[in-house]
């Protein structure tokens, strides 16, 4: 028994195939979904989605949205999604540093 996972963003379909299990992070914590889960509709926070195929775990970063889990069909609609393998750690580190400096600068401006 497998789950059919579909991850959609406004610009493209990020994932559309079968998986064994997923771990989703919502506003009320992380939930794990196995086959034959009860039907739920939930909001998804900005966080990491973990997908298990056979014995391998894949990660994907989601930028918030909604998820609907029905009879073995999971549909996740998010503003944006990036596969873990597509993210370059160096680039992400640089972007993080730039954003942190930007935040500090904004604080100074506000204080003035």
Partner 1 sequence: MAMAALRREGRRFAPLISPRPITAVRSSPIVPTHEDEGPIGVRYISTQVVRNRMKSVKNIQKITKAMKMVAASKLRAVQTKAENSRGLWQPFTALLGDLPSVDVKKNVVVTISSDKGLCGGINSTSVKISKGIYKLNSGPEKETKYVILGEKAKAQLVRDSKKDIELIITELQKNPLSYTQVSVLADEILKNVEYDALRIVFNKFHSVVSFVPTVSTVLSPEIVERESESGGKLGELDSYEVEGGETKGEILQNLAEFQFSCVMFNAVLENACSEQGARMSAMDSSSRNAGDMLDRLTLTYNRTRQASITTELIEIISGASALEG
Residues interacting with partner 1, by CB under 8 A?
6, 8-13, 26-28, 31, 38-44, 65-66, 68, 70, 75, 77, 79
State the alpha helices, DSSP H only, in 1-112.
89-111
Taking the complex as a whole, how short is the minimal distance between the CB of residue 38 and partner 1, in angstroms?
Answer: 6
**Rounded to whole angstroms, how far apart are CA atoms 49 and 65?**
12
Rounded to whole angstroms, how far apart are CA atoms 63 and 47? 7
- Least gap, CB of 77 to partner 1 (angstroms): 6
Beta carbon of residue 89, minimum distance to partner 1 (angstroms, whole number): 25
């Amino acid at each position: 028994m497998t789950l059919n996972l579909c991850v959609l963003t406004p610009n493209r379909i990020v994932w559309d195939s079968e998986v064994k299990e997923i771990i989703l992070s919502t506003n009320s914590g992380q939930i794990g979904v196995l086959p034959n889960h009860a039907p739920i509709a939930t909001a998804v926070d900005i966080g990491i989605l973990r997908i298990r195929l056979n014995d391998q775990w894949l990660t994907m970063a989601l930028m918030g949205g909604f998820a609907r889990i029905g009879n073995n069909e999971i549909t996740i609609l998010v503003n944006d999604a990036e596969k873990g393998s597509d993210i370059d750690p160096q680039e992400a580190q640089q972007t993080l540093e730039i954003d942190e400096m930007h935040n500090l600068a904004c604080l100074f401006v506000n204080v003035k």
